[in-house]
Each structure stands twice: as structure tokens, then as C-alpha cells.
Chains A and B, each alone.
Chain A
């Protein structure tokens, strides 16, 4: 398959810089797949699992927030957090899930707390599902 240059950067550093054949991410308006020669495009990212095909091999990652842009056949992925499935700490995600659930179960919790807990729960679930998806 034809490949295209792909860059993935997060505030923690450059995650990937090289060739890829396919990028599939979850944007705010749904799943989006990008192949070589895509039209110039910008889309904000939602929360979900990203699939990236490098040298015919699929790699998975939990990809949350940020944006994807295609400019002159170059794809740039700028997520807020991006973790390759192999690097996800499942125990940490589970602990975070537990904590978030506790807050949500608490009737006395404040509105902002609930909102933050909901976001945390969602992030934890995505991490967990991405990691388990790869392991199975």
C-alpha cells in the first residue's frame, strides 16, 4: 500500500515520526480513516482507540483530545494524550476507574466534580479497552 508521512506529537514528546499506510481515529463526529493522498483536512479528535498501520502491521493506541490535520499529503496527529496499547498501565487505568465511580456514586458530589469524574471514567475505560483489545 502507498504510504504517507505521519507525525504524532503530544505535550510529552514526539511519539512517532515516519511512514504509515493508514490512520484511523475517532473524531468528534465519528470514526475517520485516512489513507495516502487524502484531501487537506482538519478535524478535532474525540476520545477513542486509534489504529495505525505501519509496514502492514496494525498498531493500536488510546488517543484522547486534540486534532488531526492533513496538509499537502502529510498527516499530523496532535492529541492531548496518546498511549500505545503496549504501554498502557492497566492497573492505573483500573484504579482511576474505581476512583471515578466512587465520585459518581456519591450523591453529595459537586457538579464540577461529577463532570471531571465522568471524563476520568471515560478516559480510563478507553485505556482499558484498548489494552485488553490488543491482548486478546
Chain B
């Protein structure tokens, strides 16, 4: 009886060890990807911030509401661009962002534009209307793709298919903390707190409608790219942390099992000796 149990424990230890090797390898892959993603976030952040503040400044000082991008319409349909990962095993990364966006969508007539395989799968399973499911692989999307997506989104908004557009992404706060968030991209609204048109009129070259028509898609593209960089770094950071704790758990279980194994072996030896002694 003791023999069977040592064998069983041995098998479990072996399988645990191979799992540990996998999680360890995944952790190391994520760590190296994280380094690259982190560098990308750091270099794209000034662009993201300056673009955002410049556009907001322009909008706040704007007193001309002829552009469709700046006018609030009664909301009938909303569009959510949701950025998640392509693969699982990244702790709560995918479920956090998807849950947040899904909760926000309730009660709205919402359409999604998912980016990343996990996002596509999630919304497909819930039978949400999708603008397109072409962006299955979040890892391959570059700046150019962001601008293409932005153009499509802006066109749909201008044609009145949607009355507001949000982006759902994960903010990369630090390696240990990532927070999911949503950001309204369209329409661009004047903040109530901003000084009311203080006579600092802006010159639009050639005209305000042309300027906004040209700039807003660029702005949306830039924001999307920034959100994508943040999300990608968050995914790698989340995966690294998850895999690190998985490796630790495996270590703990292996230690526990080896203790049990040694005890079982000892018990078997003791039993054998007792039998021999009793028989002589």
C-alpha cells in the first residue's frame, strides 16, 4: 500500500515540476517582452500627453461649433473600442478590462470594435454587434493600423452611425499595478471649468471645419496608439506577475509533496524492517 502511494506522489511531483518549468519560461518571456513594451510606453507617452492637452486646449478655446466632432448629440448608439490581449494566462488582465467595459455598456445601445483575440471572443460569445473583427492580433498592430482604425471610426461617427465613441484600455501604472479604464474620444467636449472664450481667438488655417476634419482623426489615431502601448505593457506586466506567483506556488507544492514522499518512503522502510524483525 505504501509503495503505491510513493509512486503516486512521485508522479505528481514530476508533473508539478514540468508545469513549473513552463510557468518559469513564460515568466521570462513576459519579462523580456515587458522591457520592450515599457520602453515603447515611455517613448509614446509625451506624444499621448501633448496631443491630448493640445487638442483639449484648442477645444476649450473654441467658440465655433460647426464641426460635427465637437457637438454633443442625443446618444442613440455608442461605440466602444476595446483593447485586450491575444492570449490568456495573464492574471486578471483580460477579465478586468472586459468586465469594466461590459458593465459600462449595460443599458446602452452599444457596438464594439474589439482589438485582440480575447476581446473578440468575449464579445462574440455575448453576441454583441461588432463594427469589425479584423483586429484579432493586438501584438501586430502598429501606428499605421491605429490611424486606419481612427479613420474608420471618425467616418462612422460623422455619418451618424454612432453618437459617442469610447476606448477601453488598461493603464500601465507600474510593473505591479495596472488599472483598466475607459476614455471618451468623441465628441470632444468643452470642459465646463475652462475659462469661457476669453477673447483668445484661434486662427484656423484654412478654416475651422477643415482643420477639425483633418486633426480629429489624427487625434483619435494617436490616442488609440497610446492606449494600445499602455495595454500591451500592462498585459506583459500582468502575465509576468501571474507567472511569477504560479512558479512560487509550484515550488511550494513541490516542497510539500517531497515531504510527503519522504514520509511515505520512510514508513515503507519502517514497515519492512518491522516485518523482517517479526519474521526472524
Contacts and interface: CB of A to CB of B under 8 A. Distances in A.
B61 interface: yes
B203 A39 contact: yes
B218 A69 contact: no
Contacts, number: 80
Interface in A24-81: 27-29, 32, 39-44, 65-67, 69, 71-72, 76, 78, 80
Interface string B173-215: 0000000000000000000000000001111111000110011
**Secondary structure class of chain A's binding surface, majority of residues:** strand
Interface stretch (A11-19, A87-95, A102-110, A125-133): A11-19
Q: Interface size for chain B: under 10, 10 to 19, 20 to 34, or 35 or more residues? A: 20 to 34
B47 A43 contact: no
B38 to A, nearest CB: 13
A14 B46 contact: yes
B46 A29 contact: no
A9 interface: yes
B215 A10 contact: no
A40 B203 contact: yes
A72 B47 CA distance: 19
Contacts of A10: 47
B44 interface: yes
A13 B50 CA distance: 11
Interface residues of A, number: 26
A7 interface: yes
A9 B205 contact: no
B47 A27 contact: no
A12 B202 contact: no
A71 B54 contact: yes
A76 B203 CA distance: 15
Given A43-B211, A67-B215, A78-B47, A11 B222 contact: yes
Contacts of A78: 47, 50-51, 54, 218, 222
Interface string B56-88: 011001000000000000000000000000000
B218 A13 contact: no
Nearest to A71: B57
Given A28-B210, A44-B218, A76 B201 contact: no
A44 B211 contact: yes
Contacts of B203: 39-42
A14 B46 CA distance: 6
Contact of B50 (A7, A28, A40): A7
Contacts of A27: 205
Nearest to B200: A40
B161 interface: no
B147 interface: yes
A80 B214 contact: no
Given A44-B211, A80-B147, A29 B205 contact: yes
B273 interface: no
Nearest to A28: B214
B43 interface: yes
A44 B210 CA distance: 9
B93 to A, nearest CB: 23
Contacts of A13: 43-44, 46-47
Given A13-B43, A69-B58, A43 B205 contact: yes
B47 A11 contact: yes
Nearest to B146: A11
Interface of B: 43-44, 46-47, 50-51, 54, 57-58, 61, 143, 147, 200-206, 210-211, 214-215, 218, 222, 225-226
5 nearest A-B pairs in the assembled complex, by CB-CB distance? A44-B214, A13-B43, A43-B205, A41-B203, A14-B46
18 contacts: A9-B51, A11-B47, A11-B222, A11-B225, A11-B226, A12-B43, A12-B44, A13-B43, A13-B47, A14-B47, A28-B210, A41-B202, A42-B58, A42-B211, A44-B210, A67-B215, A69-B58, A72-B200
